[in-house]
Amino acid sequence: MIEHIKTQELISADYDGQASAEERRMIEEHLQGCADCRKYAEGLSKLSAALHVWPDEDLSPDLERKIRRSLPAAQTKEGSQMKTKSRFITVGGGGLIVAFLVLVVSMQMYAKRGIQGRLKGAADDIGNQFSIGNTNLAKGVQYEPYYLTTNYAASQSSVEVDLRYNLQFNTEQYSRIYENEFLEAAQNPLSTFSIDVDTASYSNVRRFLNNNQMPPQDAVRIEEMINYFSYDYPKPAGEHPFSITTKAAVCPWKPENQLVLVGLQGKTLEAQNIPPSNLVFLVDVSGSMDQPDKLPLLKSSFRLLVNQLRNEERVAIVVYAGNAGLVLESTPGSDKQRILEAIDNLKAGGSTAGGAGIQLAYKIAKENFIKGGNNRVVLATDGDFNVGVSSDGELTRIIEEKRKDGIFLTVLGFGTGNYKDSKMEQLADKGNGNYYYIDTLKEGKKVLVSELGSTLFTIAKDVKIQIEFNPSQVKAYRLVGYENRILAKEDFNDDTKDAGELGAGHTVTAMYEIVPVDSAETFSSVDKLAYQKTEVLPSDDLMTVKLRYKDPDGEMSKLIQQTVKAEDVSAEPAGDFQFASVVAEFGLILRDSKFKGSASYEHVTKGAAVSKGKDTYGYREEFIELVGKAQALDTRADSGTPGIIFKGE
């Protein structure tokens, strides 16, 4: 995106004779591989050719006043007329010269002051988004170029000017990701983070690739890509509601290092044992939702859910657009026709009052609270809160307060162009809930039919993981992903600190890249301490995994602990571990991570094909197709040497 805008700015400067020889060379090289910029240059060439037929001088104030005074009179002469058809302007008779002169002068001024100015402003805007805490990488202006054509003959009494202009504003917002660095185990032996069961990033990345676009780097959250897929971890046994699986192998994208997987498997509930749900759908029906991939897709997805509702479950619908309102009071699942009619009647229009809607939705959920059930507000929006309670701070304070009532929040994202990923992710995190992005009806079915009754029922809340690395075996380590889930080491034992939730039957996967203690690689270090010494005890342990969680209605955490031995490191990942590792590798490539090592699209494709396994719903096959699309779209130089060779290649 940034490269395109910079190139288009240089192209417009070149047409004004302001580009240097080096800049023209850069333009030519870029145009060879970019069809969009070639199209832009062709359109600008047509505009430039049309404008340069006319004098460069601006009108004098006196002449301009005379033209504007004479224009209405000229239009009323016999046989003359001015009319607008679609995007064509036709001027007849005596009004021809003055009208066209005003038009051309206006176009000259607009082109000279507008084209480069807008492009530079958009580029500057994107550049400013690299400031800490504020990255909107997809923000800017994308547009098709002007096309100005004239059809004028001396024998005709009219001139036809075709002004075709297509503006597409892109104000999508993504929080800046600062990738986790390698930390030396001797100085930082503890790594603590909150689990994440969101999957929005993967389906959003899929949306970009299916639209033949590379995703913005900050739209790629590797942990959400990994956790989009389920993995066959052992079912839990005993008192705890989930099992812990640990595996270690050589790191595929950097064979001199190791990769460790930590996987959680939540207990699965039989259909008859799933507690009933009290759902309040909070639906954004503002004007920004009036797009096929927004409200219509949302309605189609909700219809699939209604057919799965049990009689004892309840659904209410709250809408917000300028004002919040209850369009369907809490209705039993047995009255499906009434619920479907309410969904069909949803229409988009107006501005967005998200704060008022959230407060009303929680009020309805509390009034119909089911003790021991799945009490949840489901917010469906493109995230464009722009009226009323709109700041992230105000919204999160509302949601943090309401979660104390045992009502959780699920956020469903829809649409393109003004998608506010950063805001929706934050709301779901603070609301003890999940965040999904629905780009297709198939994804709507996955989230609302396959997962709503199980994974959206919380079996454990405030789930935190803390790893203690053994400095006698580990020189340094890096958590892959989870950048916005990092916790202070003191937070692990602090039961007042909020963390992630785990749903029934859900799997959670995290990975660490480990640098062995005998590695020659060096890392930044601090001076030796003057008042204390660190003693490393010999041990065959690679690391110890500790996990804390609370019951859904509990306030005191429980502890689980497990050790990983150095001898457990295998020659290569296998099975689900292998597939998860290639998904992580794909994420590193998309992010153009400085830690991607020898990662390559070819390696990801081969590894995914080998480890696809039983692919009931075709999600893994779809992943392989997406890798191919990304490889075709990616104009960056591919990575260097291939990584480890997987069995079966």
Q: Look at residue 115 and tell me whether its pLDDT is greater than 70.
A: no
Q: Can you give the pTM of this predicted structure? A: 0.71
Tell me if residue 219 falls in helix, strand or coil.
Answer: helix
Q: Write the pLDDT tens digit of every residue in 335-373.
A: 999 999 999 988 887 555 556 778 888 999 999 999 888
Q: Look at residue 238 and tell me whether its pLDDT is greater than 60.
A: yes
Pairing label, strands 88-92, 82-85: antiparallel
Residue 595 is predicted with a pLDDT of 95
Longest pairwise C-alpha distance within the chain: 103
Superfamily for domain range 274-454: von Willebrand factor, type A domain (3.40.50.410)
Average pLDDT, whole number, for the chain? 78
Six-digit token pair at 610?
Answer: 């080998």
Higher-confidence residue: 360 or 86? 360
**What crossing angle do the helices spanning 575-590 and 619-633 adopt, rounded to 10°?**
30
Q: Write the pLDDT tens digit of every residue in 497-517.
A: 888 888 888 889 999 999 999
pLDDT tier at 17 (50, 70, 90 boundaries)? low
Q: Side-chain half-sphere of 306: how many Cα atoms within 13 Å?
A: 23
Domain spans of the chain, in order of start = 2-171, 183-269+459-633, 274-454
CA distance 317 to 517: 57
Taking residues 364-387, report their average pLDDT: 84
CATH class of residue range 183-269+459-633: mainly beta
Q: How far apart are the first and last CA of the chain?
A: 35
Tell me if residue 466 falls in helix, strand or coil.
Answer: strand
Six-digit token pair at 466?
Answer: 């803390």
User: In this structure, what are the phi and psi dihedrals at residue 567, rounded to the nearest 5 degrees?
Assistant: -75, -10
**Beta strand extents in 54-120 (DSSP E only):** 82-85, 88-92
Instruction: Match 């609370």 to its residue by tokens.
Output: 550
**Residue 340 near residue 306, CB atoms below 8 Å:** yes
CA distance 168 to 417: 8
Six-digit token pair at 229?
Answer: 């897929």
Residue 66 is predicted with a pLDDT of 53
Ramachandran sector of residue 565 (left: φ over 0; alpha: ψ -120 to 50; beta: rest): beta
CA distance 434 to 570: 34
**Beta strand extents in 29-157 (DSSP E only):** 82-85, 88-92, 139-151
Residue 64 is predicted with a pLDDT of 55
Q: pLDDT over 90 for what percent of the chain?
A: 39
